[in-house]
Amino acid sequence: MPKREHAILIWLNVLIAVGMSVCAFLGQVRLSFTLFDWAIVFPAANICFSLLTFPVTDLIADQFGKKEASTTVWVGFAAQFITVLLIEMCCIIDPDGPLQMFRLGGWLVLGGSTAAYLIAQFWDVHFFHWIKEEWTGESHLWLRNNLSTFSSQLINSSIFITVVFGVEGLVLMLPGSMLVKWCLALADTPFVYLGRYLVRRARRASALAPA
């Protein structure tokens, strides 16, 4: 793989790692706002999942292949596991420290987000490739990006909210979670196209570079 493409792939993996690490802190935090007198409640981790995981793996799957995208999924899992482990170590050393508030939540969030993240992300990668191979080919990136993301986000939210907040939390937060996630998925589509453009430009530059 040319150096420029490899650098882009590394940075995309960094985004996944950052997003999953932040989820260890935001997993039990609820956000809410009112829309047309409808109180919308959702986990703060939705923002990380929507902006820093699904579009990144879709871009990697589209430009680097299913194998690289699957590897990136494991990078995200490893980043979150290490983050929770470090929180646990800090809490053991200093039981009254500021990270204590994340200790129980960290393991609970790790369990919920691990199941939700791995199942949803592998579904996203496989469904994205199925749409590309059986339906759209190289065209209509926006269609396979959004179809795979919409379905995988429904899986992700259903599992994560049930594990972390229970069935009552699922009833309360799933509608708002899906509204927020789907709006963010639509909003990030131009950035997926930008990422594809940058990867292709790097490939052209590498092809033109002297041996």
pLDDT single digits (tens) 18-77? 988 887 777 677 788 887 877 888 777 777 777 778 888 888 988 898 889 889 989 988
Give 81: exposed, middle or buried? Use CB within 10 Å, 0-12, 13-18, 19+: middle
Kindly state whether residue 211 falls inside one of the protein's structural domains.
no
Q: Is the CB of residue 24 less than 8 Å from the CB of residue 106?
A: yes
* Percent over 70 (pLDDT), the chain: 92
Instruction: Judge whether 95 lies within some domain.
Output: yes
Structure tokens at 23: 């989820």
For 31, phi and psi rounded to 5 degrees?
Answer: -115, 155
In a domain, 210, yes or no: no
Give the CATH number for residue 32.
1.10.1760
209 assigned to some structural domain: no
What is the domain range of residue 78? 3-204
**pLDDT tens figures, 62-104:** 889 888 988 998 998 899 889 888 888 888 888 887 777 766 5
Domain count, the chain: 1
Sign of the dihedral through C-alpha 109, 29, 48, 185: positive
pLDDT at res. 192: 86
